[in-house]
Structure 1
Amino acid sequence: MSTTIVITMAGRGSRFTAAGYTVPKYQIEAHGHSLFQWSLCSLRHFIAADTRLIFVCLKENDSGDYVRSQCEVLGIGDVHIVELDELTDGQATSAYLSRTLWHTHGPLLVYNIDTYVEPDALRPDAIRANADGWVPCFQAPGTHWSFVRLGDDGWAVEVAEKRRISDHASVGLYWFGSGADFVTAYDRYFADPVHLVGGERYVAPLYQQLLRDGLKVAITDLPPEHVHVLGTPAELAVFLAASPQLPG
């Protein structure tokens, strides 16, 4: 089954604007490449000839031409742009709004444009056999991540947003065995507004619904030095102080 990759980039990047940046966050350059390019490079081993890429953008950012030109350079053919008229209540909703374009019965991967994971550390063959969900993680301080707690057998038993239930923090990539699983989980989990976190609908808690439905969720624990978070000006400053090389 063909994989669908949904890249959510439907925010305003207000923290970067406040810090004096004058271009949209995804166009900010670091070490000669835009954050968009760094982020998409993370998925090198997931993008095949039959992979569909869907970019969920905010209409006011006028991102379409930029996204298409970048994908053309990368040789990605099956590209779709979804432009939203307004901000949504979270990444899960932004992805959900593009669902009519998904290969429903094929794998679904949801990612962002403000994380660079060195691509050789992020491979499809790391997904555990029989997994219905997969969350690449790394060891990081703080409580501002999504977290996965494992059972003795190494399968997830709990997934939480902004609650440090373990040391396994998500890198921001969320894989589902099928797009249909995402849609079912979204519809059922968020039917109860108590599941919103700070008023937002995050992707990670959807795995709680998968677990409740008896499905299996796995993780991969990545070396922290291979994960570069670019979501805030402070995080970008750390990246700028490093010397990463975008793989050729």
Structure 2
Amino acid sequence: MSLNVVITMAGRGSRFYDAGYTTPKYEIMAHNRSLFDWSMLSLKNFLTPDSRIIFVCLGENKSSDFVLRQTQALGLTNVDIVELTELTDGQATSAYLAREHWNPEWPLLIYNIDTYVKPNALTPSDIRPGSDGWVPCFQVPGDHWSFVKPGCDGWAVDLAEKQRISDYASIGLYWFNCANRYADLYDQFFRDPKNLVRGEKYIAPLYRQLIAEGGKVSLSNLQLSDVHVLGTPAELDRFLQLPVEALRD
């Protein structure tokens, strides 16, 4: 399967440093794997020798050597690293800055480096035929997520950031059927500064532009037990308390 995969890991991980951790978040070990490896394991059914994988990193974190070692250990060879000199204004921009490295005609999958999803819960066959975009979701409390609102036919009718417009929260994975389309949507949508959320450029609201242009966005509903968010020290602590058996497919 020909696919562009963009992994955004261009944050400082300040909450972990503030909690006393001394290594970058993605290098932290949990159940004998780094958080980097847990995140990449989520994509096992999407990564093939043909996949083009681009990591967007923050230069000050000096991530390149670690990323190359880990990807080689995973048998991934078509790897590029984009090192940014400063923080961006959001994940949508971090992914956009990788565009020189992707194949513009291939689909684009964007994922973060701080979520583990049981691999069998995510497969390409989950993408509904005819989808221009796809957002796997789970049903979880809180309003700090990206949300997808499905219509009566199952296609998404709206997506919003930090607004609970439905019970379906994104797991942090975003798929577009064409990488070039993502770049075009970004240019069009963020031309209006009103589309920023708290000053940041998020990916989920970009699908509003896709839907407005007549595109179709599908969603999947994952089991809560299949998704493990690892973005804060508290979330990592909960993950560490789980038996390893509960993390396997």
Taking structure 1 as the reference length, the TM-score comes to: 0.98
- Residues 1:189 and 2:184 aligned together: no
Looking at structure 2, the residues matched to 72 and 206 of structure 1 have their Cα atoms a distance apart, in angstroms, of 33
- Which residue number in structure 1 is paired with residue 26 of structure 2? 26
User: Does the 8 Å contact 1:56/1:82 carry over to 2?
Assistant: yes
Aligned to 2:170: 170
Provide structure 2 residue ranges, at least 5 long, that are not aligned to the other structure: none
Q: CA deviation at 1:185?
A: 0.7
Distance of 2:242 and 2:134 partners within structure 1? 29
Cα distance in structure 2, aligned partners of 1:68 and 1:161 = 32
Letter matched to residue 220 of structure 1: S
Q: Paired residue for 1:7?
A: 7
Letter in 1 for 2:235: E
For 1:202, give the aligned amino acid.
Answer: Y
Q: How far apart are residue 243 of structure 1 and its match?
A: 1.7
| In structure 2, C-alpha distance between the alignment counterparts of 1:65 and 1:183, rounded to whole Å | 28
User: For residues 70-123 of structure 1, what are the alpha-carbon distances to aligned partners after superposition, in whole Å with 9 as ceiling and x for unaligned?
Assistant: 010111010000000000000000010010111111110000110000000000
Q: Which residue of 2 aligns with 1:179?
A: 179
- Tell whether 2:68 aligns with 1:64: no
Change beyond 3 A, Cα 1:150–1:129: same
Amino acid across the alignment from 1:226? D
1:115-126 equivalent positions in 2, closer than 5 A = 115-126=115-126
String of CA shifts for 1:19-49, please: whole Å, max 9, x gaps: 0000000001111110000000000000011
**Deviation per CA, 1:188-246, whole angstroms, max 9, x where unpaired?**
00000000001000111110000000000000000000000000011111101112357
Code of the aligned partner of 2:80: H
RMSD of equivalent CA atoms: 1.1
Aligned counterparts, 1:1-248, within 5 A: 2-244=2-244
**Runs of at least 4 residues off by over 6 Å:** none
Q: Give the residue type in structure 2 aligned to 1:39.
A: S
State how far apart, in whole Å, the 1-side matches of 2:138 and 2:127 are.
15
The answer to whether the 8 Å contact 1:2/1:103 transfers is no
**Matched residues, number:** 248
Shift in Å, 1:247: 5.8
Q: Matches of 2:104 and 2:131 in 1, distance apart? A: 17
Q: Identity over aligned residues, as a percent?
A: 60
* TM-score (ref. length: structure 2): 0.98
For 1:42 and 1:103, locate their aligned partners in 2 and report how far apart those are by CA, in whole Å. Answer: 22
Distance 1:247 1:139, change over 3 A: closer
Q: How far apart, CA to CA, are the structure 1 residues paired with 2:89 and 2:225?
A: 31
Paired with 2:30 and 2:51, the residues of 1 have a C-alpha distance of 27
For residue 164 of structure 1, what is the amino acid of its counterpart?
R
